[in-house]
Amino acid sequence: MSNDVRSHLVGLLLGAEEDWPRAFEAILKMVGPLKAGGTTHTLETERVRIHPFDLTDDVRHEMVIDRLAYWYYHPREWLKKAALMNDTYLLNSPFTFQAMEKHSAYCAMLRLGMKIPKTVLVPYKNPVDNVRWAYTSAKYNDPFDLDAIADQVGYPLYMKPFDGGGWRGVSRVDDRESLHRSYDESGNMLMHLQATIDYDHFARALSIGPETMVMDFRPGEPMHSRYAVTHNFLSQQAGWETETVSKVVNAFFGWEFNSCEMLVRGDDVHPIDYANACPDVAVTSLHYYFPWAMTALVRWSAYCLVTGRKSFIGVRSPRAYFDIADDPDRSYLEKMQAYRALADQEFDSEHYWQWCEDNLSHLPERVLEWVASPAFDTLLADTVRATYPQHEHEQFMAHFRGLTGLWVKDQQSLRGAR
């Protein structure tokens, strides 16, 4: 048998963050050489540099995890070149994220029968490039009655951009007066009017490959306490469904690192925002869930690289999903189960967990030791210093130490119970 050694390089494409990249770098080192067949695989990581590139330049990164390119276009185009010319594996496809922003994502999941709140797209208040299209708009644009549309959607409603993100341009509209004010202010943004869901729980799911964590989210809280640490906050049915929606969205669009926001009322799950190309994984927002997220990112990266998983480039055919959606003999729940089966197939779920068991069973224990160690505390302290003003350092250090310490305790007692 041959004894090849193959080294795989994971690139990190980053914004201002230092916390999760340091964690990822530390945890990736714990993976160690992995044997598959006659080949020994080693994994390395490097932060991606930004510079001019010839379209034919070599690309050393076999995979890139991206937290930047949605907003920063030069490296986004480099990612596309790397995928198209060098087969670089991208956890998030910039191709589909550009094609499938919030609006298309609503349409697609509505077609699948998911409980998307009633949503209407209204024309621009101030059409872009208006002079050029004056003839068209005079001849073809139907006049419309904004008040009548809002009445149909019902008050209060949300007005938000069709391609939104980061609360840009989002407003809650309580009456006619604020409707017109918000619309006038929308200017060059193309807006949805969306019915409000009065929810019991805001569930935010983060999915990384086949792994999903559904978290109890409080959007009104400041960033550091938006994720509450509440286990089993949903009924069994709603818990299964939130997890399923997140996985199905990702499988449908070909995303492997994405967060999905759902409003849950009783057992009903209403997805409202699920195209988040560069989901937040900062330790200062995820805290308790941060070690899980980093472990999942490392595990999924290792799995893809060592097993030679090929990434899909472009927008995939939704037909298999639509065939299920259009089947009049299936109930909502049966459809969700069938989509979930497709998603599990897409992410090799069963094979993945077996592979992790065979190759990375040591990892959770090592991560636990690391999170309990002074090295992690230093990472936390550096992050707190870089994120908050000096007079708040002590308060936030205690806050995050408490939450990550709680995770350590919970993991230790889970292990003890086994």
Ligand X SMILES: Nc1ncnc2c1ncn2[C@@H]1O[C@H](COP(=O)(O)OP(=O)(O)OP(=O)(O)O)[C@@H](O)[C@H]1O
| In contact, 10 and 45? CB cutoff 8 Å | yes
- Percent composition of the chain: helix, strand, coil (DSSP 3-state, to 5): 45, 20, 35
Among 168, 176, 385, 415, binds ligand X (CB under 6 A): 168
Q: How far apart are CA 264 and CA 271, in angstroms?
A: 9
CB of 325 to ligand X, least distance (A): 22
Q: Which residues partner with 39 through β-bridges?
A: 4, 36
Q: Is 196 within 8 Å of 172 (Cβ atoms)?
A: yes
Q: Does 165 bind ligand X (CB under 6 A)?
A: yes
Two tokens at 197? 């869901």
Considering beta carbons, is residue 149 or 170 the nearer one to ligand X?
Answer: 170
- Which of 8-16, 158-166, 285-293, 309-317 is the region at the interface with ligand X (rule: CB under 6 A)? 158-166
Site string for ligand X, 216-255 (x = CB under 6 A): ---x------------------------------------
Of 241 and 261, nearer to Mg ion (C-beta) is 261
Secondary structure element (H or E) that encloses residue 44, with its range: strand 39-47
Q: Which of 94, 100, 116, 251 is nearest to 162 (CA)?
A: 100
Residues 6+ apart with CB under 8 A from 220: none
Candidate residues 211, 256, 273, 280; the one interacting with Mg ion per rule CB under 5 A: 273
Q: Is 273 in the site for ligand X (CB under 6 A)?
A: yes
Residue 37's CB: how many other CB atoms inside 10 A? 9
| Position among 22, 160, 224, 287 found at the interface with ligand X (CB under 6 A) | 160
Interface with ligand X (CB under 6 A), residue total 17
What six digits make up the tokens of 408? 């350590």
Say how many residues touch Mg ion, by CB under 5 A.
2
Near ligand X by CB under 6 A: residue from 272, 283, 296, 343 = 272
Interacting partner of 166 out of ligand X, Mg ion, none (Cβ under 5 to 8 A depending on kind): ligand X
CB 357 within 8 A of CB 373: no
> Minimum Å distance from CB 217 to ligand X?
8
Binding characters for Mg ion, 252-271, by CB under 5 A (x = yes) = ---------x----------
Half-sphere exposure of 187 (CA within 13 A, CB side): 4
Give dist(CA 260, CA 279) in Å, integer: 9
Return the structure tokens found at 379.
Answer: 């990472």
Site string for ligand X, 185-204 (x = CB under 6 A): ---------x-xx-------
Positions 21 through 80 that interact with ligand X (CB under 6 A): none
Q: How far is the CB of 202 from ligand X (least distance, A)?
A: 7
Q: CB of residue 273 vs Mg ion: minimum separation in angstroms?
A: 3
Instruction: Point out which span in 17-25, 39-47, 164-172, 320-328 binds ligand X (CB under 6 A).
Output: 164-172
Q: Which residue's Cβ lies closest to Mg ion? A: 273
Chain center to CA of 129: 33
Nearest distance, CB of residue 169 and ligand X, angstroms: 7
Give, for 268, the enclosing helix (H) or strand (E): strand 268-273
CA dist list (Å): 309 to 21, 33, 62, 72, 305:
23, 18, 11, 27, 6
Binding site for Mg ion (CB under 5 A): 261, 273
Binding site for ligand X (CB under 6 A): 117, 158, 160, 164-168, 170, 194, 196-197, 219, 261, 263, 272-273
